[in-house]
C-alpha cells in the first residue's frame, strides 16, 4: 500500500511538472508575441495623461520599461491558458460539486478583474492623473520618467482589478458557511470605513474626490455581496434546528 501511495505522489508531481512546463512555454510564446504589441500598449497607457511628454534619465531605463510592459502583456495573453492548466491540475482531487463551483467561478474571476481594470482606466485614472501631474505646475515643470509612470498605472489597474473580485470571494465564503448574510449586514458600517481606508491606500493622491471614486464602487460591491450571500448561504446554517444545539 505504501508503494502505491508513493507511486500516486510521483505521478502527481510528474503531472505538476508537465503543466508547469506547458505554462512556461505558453508564457514565453505570449511574451514573444507581445514584443511588437508593447508599443501600442504604451500608447494606451499614455492616453490617460494627454499633453505629458514622458522622459527617461537612465541609459537602460527605456529598455527595461519596454520589457516590463512586454512581460505584463505576455501574462495577460497567456492568462486564460494558465487558468486552464491550473483547473486541470486541481480537478482530479475535487468532488463533482467542487468542480462545478470552480468551473463557474473561473470565468467570473476574469470578468470581474477586467471590469475593475476598465473602471480604473476609464473613470478613475483621468482625474487622478490630472491632479498628480498638474499639482504645483506653477512651481515646477513636470518631467515624468516613463518607468515611474508605467509602474504607477499598472499598480493602480491591478489593485482596482483585485478589489472587484470581492463579490465572488464573499459569495464563495458564504456558500461554504464561513460568513453569513447577517454578519455581513451588521458589519456594513465597518465595511464603509474600510472602503474609504482602502481608497486612501490605493489612491496616490490625498484628494477626497479620487478616494471616493474608489470607495464608492467598493461599497456597492459589498452590498452586492450581501445580496449574493443571501442567495447561496446554506439554509440549515441560517436556521439550525433545536436538536442540533443539544
Q: Report pLDDT for 22.
A: 95
Comparing C-alpha atoms, which of 169, 167, 178 is closest to residue 223? Answer: 167
Q: Report the interhelical angle of 96-119 vs 61-90 (nearest 10°).
A: 160
Mean pLDDT for the chain overall: 86
Read off the pLDDT of residues 39-51 as tens digits, 9 standing for 90 and up: 999 999 999 988 8
Average pLDDT over residues 108-115: 90
* CB distance 173 to 214 below 8 Å: no
pLDDT at 6: 46
Helices 146-163, 188-202: crossing angle, 10 deg rounding: 170
Average confidence (pLDDT) over 104-123: 90
In this prediction, what percent of the chain has a pLDDT beyond 90? 49
Question: What DSSP line would sit under 26-93, residue for residue?
Answer: HHHHHHHHHHHHHHHHHHHHHTTSTT---B--STTHHHHHHHHHHHHHHHHHHHHHHHHHHHHHHGGG
Section 48-65 average pLDDT: 90
Is residue 28 predicted with pLDDT exceeding 90? yes
Beta-carbon contacts of 36 under 8 Å, excluding residues fewer than 6 positions away, are none
Task: Kindly report the pTM of this predicted structure.
Answer: 0.80
Amino acid at each position: 500500500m505504501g508503494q502505491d501511495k508513493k507511486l500516486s505522489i510521483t505521478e502527481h508531481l510528474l503531472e505538476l511538472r508537465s503543466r508547469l512546463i506547458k505554462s512556461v512555454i505558453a508564457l514565453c510564446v505570449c511574451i514573444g508575441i507581445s514584443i511588437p504589441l508593447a508599443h501600442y500598449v504604451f500608447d494606451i497607457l499614455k492616453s490617460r495623461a494627454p499633453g505629458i511628454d514622458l522622459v527617461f534619465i537612465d541609459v537602460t531605463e527605456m529598455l527595461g520599461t519596454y520589457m516590463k510592459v512586454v512581460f505584463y502583456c505576455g501574462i495577460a495573453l497567456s492568462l486564460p491558458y494558465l487558468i486552464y492548466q491550473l483547473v486541470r491540475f486541481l480537478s482530479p482531487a475535487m468532488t463533482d460539486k467542487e468542480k462545478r463551483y470552480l468551473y463557474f467561478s473561473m470565468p467570473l474571476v476574469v470578468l470581474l478583474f477586467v471590469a475593475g481594470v476598465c473602471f480604473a482606466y476609464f473613470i478613475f485614472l483621468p482625474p487622478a492623473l490630472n491632479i498628480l501631474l498638474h499639482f504645483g505646475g506653477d512651481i515646477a515643470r513636470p518631467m515624468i520618467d516613463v518607468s515611474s509612470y508605467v509602474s504607477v498605472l499598472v499598480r493602480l489597474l491591478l489593485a482596482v482589478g483585485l478589489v472587484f473580485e470581492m463579490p465572488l470571494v464573499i459569495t464563495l465564503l458564504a456558500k461554504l458557511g464561513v460568513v453569513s448574510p447577517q454578519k455581513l449586514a451588521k458589519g456594513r458600517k465597518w465595511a464603509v470605513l474600510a472602503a474609504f481606508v482602502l481608497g486612501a491606500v490605493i489612491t496616490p493622491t490625498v484628494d477626497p474626490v479620487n478616494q471616493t471614486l474608489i470607495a464608492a464602487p467598493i461599497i456597492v460591491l459589498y452590498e452586492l455581496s450581501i445580496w449574493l450571500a443571501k442567495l447561496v448561504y446554506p439554509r440549515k446554517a441560517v436556521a439550525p434546528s433545536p436538536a442540533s444545539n443539544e
